[in-house]
A and B are shown apart, each in its own frame.
Chain A
């Protein structure tokens, strides 16, 4: 069996990759995908801990996080589409009416 710390390491790596994606990429959709990656690293952590501690709450939490991710897709994509229709771009550096 693969020890729990391995899972945690993987999830930490996933989280870091996601974080880096959010900070580095300028395309709103890609940023959005990076956020999904972070949410999945959260899931992995929850499951790994739930397994290690033999406590069920972690697995329950995962279901909720999946729901959260799904709802974010619904709302987020709608907002991104709205801005794409108005500006024909989803590059967040071009979305710069508000500054000062």
Chain B
């Protein structure tokens, strides 16, 4: 380890420092929204050291346990943007619900640090630690509203599920270590060729439970609706994009670096899991009335869609498609949750029928929500369309036409419940015509989410370039 190693992890050090600094600021000021503003500024500033990594070549630092490559940088950018947006939304949402505001922002930034570590770990010990780090802060965030029984319940369910899943995953890690005698992913990849196949299968299957939990893939998805519904809305938004993205990062790195599909056919396994996740998530989303539950089930279905990108990893479409999808989905899903947060705050309800007449009461938010719903369905020109286009193209390019067809059928099914939200907002008569207050910071966060959704949809070229270079470096 050398000093240059430290330079390579400046973004991580910055995030850790920022989180600690936030705790200090929280001690010193009575105006808690200031902590949030400082958090947003600090997160935005971290883009500078992250951006400076873009120009450097791919390498591993700290005894080969930590990757500094385009793939990691992509997820750093994604995590930082998502965290900044969520903090921004929470500034307007949190006051009056919890007396511990400053700690909330600090915890979010700590979680961001964990997510960044997760996406870049190339050593199973570090990977396990960062996954646990993210989980632990997430449990606290999910149960953050101490006085709210639903939030308590979300916390305890998330905790019990998550702890069990990560224990299973750790058991998988220990078997992988036993098969290869190393904890470094690249070293494992070299030695795994001699490992007995059944044991390898077992260890991969056990590990999948940990990753599957993070990305809410069927059959490790049951926590998702309960936690999204009960957790504070900004936290649910955060879990559904940032945590999911980092889970995918770890999963992709693990599968692509370690396991040769020629030896262990995980492509079919992932493809089947993808099809099942898409379908089950969608079918369960259909009868939902609560917007957060609906978004939870739809996020299961999107996890299935994203898995197409994992299964179709050969060629220029699958893996870059996964990254593009994740980034596009981040903006759209965050936006949808922010509207849900706004309505939850102003009307005190999360039921979709209560959105009736929103187009009159909060025209801008309603319009944006309509855009988000159409984007989640996959209508062009929006960001999720580009993502879906890419992963479907990847599936066809990889000869997984059946999976593409399953995806298409699911897109049609999903239209039904997404259109239900639009129907409530635009078609159903308003119960009241009093205009809703639209708080400033939440509006800014919403605007950025909307802008991101549309811009990526209209001009995806820069994102595509970024995603392609990220994946290129991963394969070395």
**Residues of A with Cβ closer than 8 Å to B?**
8, 15, 18-19, 22, 28, 31-32, 35, 38-39, 41-42, 45-46, 48-49, 52-53, 55, 57-58, 60-61, 64-65, 68, 71-72, 75-76, 78-80, 82-83, 86-87, 92, 95-100
**A98 to B157, Cβ gap below 8 A?**
yes
Given that A38-B167, A42-B171, A99-B226 are contacting pairs, would A64 and B146 also be in contact in the complex, using a CB cutoff of 8 Å? no
The CA-CA distance from A64 to B121 in the complex, in Å, is 15
The CA-CA distance from A98 to B236 in the complex, in Å, is 14
**A83 to B155, Cβ gap below 8 A?**
yes
Question: Apart from A64-B128, A68-B170, what are 8 other A-B pairs with CB-CB below 8 Å?
Answer: A42-B167, A45-B174, A45-B175, A75-B139, A79-B140, A80-B156, A82-B146, A87-B152
**A57 to B177, Cβ gap below 8 A?**
yes
**A31 to B178, Cβ gap below 8 A?**
no
The CA-CA distance from A46 to B139 in the complex, in Å, is 27
Tell me which residues across on chain A come within 8 A of B105, comparing CB atoms.
none
Interface residues as binary, B109-142 with A (CB distance below 8 Å gives 1, 0 otherwise): 0000000000000001100110010001001100
Q: Which stretch in B30-38, B158-166, B254-262 binds the other chain?
A: B158-166
B272 within 8 A of partner (CB): no
**B225 to A98, Cβ gap below 8 A?**
yes
B106 within 8 A of partner (CB): no
Tell me, rounded to whole Å, the shortest Cβ–Cβ distance linking B18 to chain A. Answer: 21
Tell me which residues across on chain A come within 8 A of B157, comparing CB atoms.
92, 95, 98
Q: Which B residues between 195 and 244 are near A, CB-CB below 8 angstroms?
A: 225-226, 229-230
Choose from A19, A32, A55, A60 the contact partner of B160 (Cβ within 8 Å).
A32
**A82 to B125, Cβ gap below 8 A?**
no
Tell me, rounded to whole Å, the shortest Cβ–Cβ distance linking B221 to chain A. Answer: 14
**Residues of B with Cβ closer than 8 Å to A?**
124-125, 128-129, 132, 136, 139-140, 143, 146, 149-150, 152-157, 159-160, 163-164, 166-168, 170-171, 173-175, 177-178, 181-183, 225-226, 229-230, 288-290, 293
**A42 to B170, Cβ gap below 8 A?**
yes
**A45 to B168, Cβ gap below 8 A?**
no
Tell me which residues across on chain A come within 8 A of B225, comparing CB atoms.
98, 100
Tell me, rounded to whole Å, the shortest Cβ–Cβ distance linking B35 to chain A. Answer: 22
**A19 to B168, Cβ gap below 8 A?**
yes
**B183 to A61, Cβ gap below 8 A?**
yes
**B167 to A60, Cβ gap below 8 A?**
no
Given that A49-B177, A82-B152 are contacting pairs, would A57 and B170 also be in contact in the complex, using a CB cutoff of 8 Å? no
Residue of B with least CB distance to A45: B174
Given that A28-B160, A68-B128, A79-B143 are contacting pairs, would A100 and B293 also be in contact in the complex, using a CB cutoff of 8 Å? yes
Overall SS of chain B's interface:
helix
The CA-CA distance from A83 to B148 in the complex, in Å, is 10
Tell me which residues across on chain B come within 8 A of A82, comparing CB atoms.
143, 146, 152, 155-156
Choose from B136, B170, B181, B230 the contact partner of A55 (Cβ within 8 Å).
B181
8 nearest interchain CB pairs? Answer: A49-B178, A38-B167, A45-B174, A53-B181, A98-B226, A57-B183, A42-B170, A83-B152
Tell me, rounded to whole Å, the shortest Cβ–Cβ distance linking B190 to chain A. Answer: 14
Among B128, B152, B155, find the residue whose CB has the most chain A CB atoms closer than 10 A.
B152
Given that A49-B178, A82-B155, A100-B290 are contacting pairs, would A92 and B160 also be in contact in the complex, using a CB cutoff of 8 Å? yes
**B171 to A79, Cβ gap below 8 A?**
no
The CA-CA distance from A86 to B170 in the complex, in Å, is 33
**A61 to B174, Cβ gap below 8 A?**
yes
Tell me which residues across on chain B come within 8 A of A18, comparing CB atoms.
167
**B181 to A49, Cβ gap below 8 A?**
yes
**B154 to A98, Cβ gap below 8 A?**
yes
The CA-CA distance from A12 to B230 in the complex, in Å, is 35
**A98 to B167, Cβ gap below 8 A?**
no
**B177 to A58, Cβ gap below 8 A?**
yes
Tell me which residues across on chain B come within 8 A of A35, comparing CB atoms.
160, 163-164, 167
The CA-CA distance from A99 to B229 in the complex, in Å, is 9
Given that A32-B160, A82-B143, A98-B150 are contacting pairs, would A15 and B226 also be in contact in the complex, using a CB cutoff of 8 Å? no
Choose from B139, B150, B174, B293 the contact partner of A97 (Cβ within 8 Å).
B150
Tell me which residues across on chain B come within 8 A of A96, comparing CB atoms.
153
The CA-CA distance from A100 to B296 in the complex, in Å, is 12
Residue of A with least CB distance to B171: A42
Tell me, rounded to whole Å, the shortest Cβ–Cβ distance linking B224 to chain A. Answer: 11
Tell me which residues across on chain A come within 8 A of B229, comparing CB atoms.
98, 100
The CA-CA distance from A71 to B160 in the complex, in Å, is 14
The CA-CA distance from A31 to B150 in the complex, in Å, is 20
Residue of B with least CB distance to A57: B183
Tell me, rounded to whole Å, the shortest Cβ–Cβ distance linking A5 to chain B. Answer: 11
Among B128, B149, B166, B167, find the residue whose CB has the most chain A CB atoms closer than 10 A.
B167
The CA-CA distance from A100 to B229 in the complex, in Å, is 10
Residue of B with least CB distance to A44: B174
The CA-CA distance from A96 to B160 in the complex, in Å, is 14
**A46 to B177, Cβ gap below 8 A?**
yes
The CA-CA distance from A35 to B152 in the complex, in Å, is 20
Tell me, rounded to whole Å, the shortest Cβ–Cβ distance linking B307 to chain A. Answer: 25
